[in-house]
């Protein structure tokens, strides 16, 4: 898939905004939280987030904003981490982000954030690849090239755990996502962890074997639309308009009809690939086209189990900040109202309310 502009779905540059800086900027979104009529949402290019670019270009977001007498500007940010940093600093009211990055950047920095829409989860888009071996156990003792402290790093940790190994049994070598394909081509690299489209390019090699991928940890790498909690509470129209727009886009792009194919083709072109390339990535992405499925996912035990695993990983690698003396530092609230971690410091929330409205035809 040449030319596909994939974002860095990672938190390796989370330190661009240090914990101290985040603490200072956390008040910015809260200061802006009041009843308003104009909002900005940041998004970056990724297979599961292309619908936002399409919805903006086709006027679907504007249509739903007009319904609730507000304005919503959906803005593409070329750098994924920068989009999260801008959101964290209060420049945007919402952002497309993975569950891990939502916890380790805005939430850990003191910006109370709500997962408004469950868009999809990686279902094979991320994988561990060995050269010349189809057994994960053969990774023992090898240097492993990956984007350190990213979803790839998390996937590696989960893969190692599945065969009773740990990071002590390998050597992590920090490698840019832009360099990972070339790295695997060199004779001295035997193991990499990456995501699509790089994963697909590497897997084409005769000596490459995907020995573990995200389909083996379903639901753990979530792609979300997250909004500032106080902004959402003060402006429920924003939640209704965004959710209504999202599910109209989902209905438009899903299926084999002419309109659906045309929509996916437009998304592919925006992403710098073709329809076949985009659909290949959709095949390894578990999209929630139906709001009922998204609600069911949020109300299941999966988010609780996943976020417990994620917060343990984040704490172990120092991603919850200098003040975090245990994994409970940041409280995470789920759709049933239960809280994992510090109930006095809830900064990340899974909210199924607006998706329920979409499910029940109440938008």
Summarised one tens digit per residue, pLDDT across range 310-343 is 999 999 999 998 899 999 999 999 999 999 999 9
Quick one: fold of 14-121+221-359?
Answer: D-Maltodextrin-Binding Protein; domain 2 (3.40.190)
pLDDT recorded at residue 34: 82
Task: For the chain, give every domain's residue range.
Answer: 14-121+221-359, 126-216
**Beta carbons of 351 and 297 less than 8 angstroms apart:** no
Q: How confident is the model at residue 21 (pLDDT cuts 50, 70, 90)?
A: very low
pLDDT recorded at residue 14: 41
Task: Find residue 96's DSSP bridge partners.
Answer: 225
Compute the C-alpha angle 258/53/277, nearest 5°: 60
Quick one: fold of 126-216?
Answer: D-Maltodextrin-Binding Protein; domain 2 (3.40.190)
Q: How many CB atoms lie within 10 A of CB 168?
A: 7
**Beta carbons of 193 and 59 less than 8 angstroms apart:** no
For 16, 23, 109, the CA distances from 20, given in Å and listed in that order, are 11, 5, 8
Name which of 57-61, 92-96, 269-273, 302-306 the model is least confident about.
269-273
Which tokens is 42 given?
Answer: 């940041």
Q: How confident is the model at residue 33 (pLDDT cuts 50, 70, 90)?
A: low
Dihedral of alpha carbons 54, 248, 103, 213, sign: negative
Span 140-156, pLDDT tens digits: 999 999 988 888 999 99
């Amino acid at each position: 898939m040449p030319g596909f502009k994939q974002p860095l779905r990672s938190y390796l540059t989370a330190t661009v905004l240090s914990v101290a800086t985040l603490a200072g900027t956390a008040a910015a979104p809260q200061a802006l939280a009041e009843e308003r009529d104009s909002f900005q949402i940041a998004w970056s290019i990724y297979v599961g987030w292309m619908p936002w670019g399409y919805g903006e270009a086709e006027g679907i977001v504007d249509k739903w904003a007009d319904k609730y007498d507000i304005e919503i500007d959906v803005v593409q940010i070329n750098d994924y981490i920068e989009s999260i940093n801008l959101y964290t600093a209060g420049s945007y009211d919402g952002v497309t982000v993975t569950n891990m990055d939502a916890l380790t950047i805005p939430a850990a920095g003191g910006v109370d954030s709500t997962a408004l829409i469950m868009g999809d989860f990686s279902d094979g888009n991320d994988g561990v690849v060995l050269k010349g071996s189809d057994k994960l156990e053969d990774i023992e003792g090898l240097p492993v090239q990956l984007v350190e402290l990213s979803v790839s790093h998390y996937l590696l940790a989960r893969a190692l755990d599945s065969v009773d190994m740990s990071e002590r049994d390998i050597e992590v070598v920090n490698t840019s996502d832009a360099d990972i394909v070339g790295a695997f081509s060199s004779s001295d690299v035997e193991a990499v962890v990456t995501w699509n489209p790089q994963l697909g390019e590497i897997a084409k090699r005769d000596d490459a074997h995907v020995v573990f991928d995200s389909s083996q940890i379903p639901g753990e790498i979530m792609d979300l639309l997250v909004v500032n909690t106080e902004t959402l509470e003060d402006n429920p129209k924003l939640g209704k308009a965004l959710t209504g727009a999202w599910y109209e886009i989902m209905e438009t792009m899903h299926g084999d009809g002419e309109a659906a194919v045309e929509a996916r083709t437009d998304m592919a072109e925006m992403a710098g690939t073709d329809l076949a390339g985009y659909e290949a990535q959709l095949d390894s992405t578990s999209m929630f086209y139906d709001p009922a499925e998204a609600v069911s996912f949020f109300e299941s035990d999966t988010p609780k189990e996943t976020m417990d695993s994620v917060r343990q990983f984040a704490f172990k690698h120092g991603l919850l900040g200098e003040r975090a003396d245990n994994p409970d530092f940041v409280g995470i609230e789920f759709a049933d109202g239960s809280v994992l971690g510090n109930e006095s410091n809830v900064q990340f929330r899974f909210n199924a309310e607006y998706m329920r409205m979409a499910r029940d035809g109440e938008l």
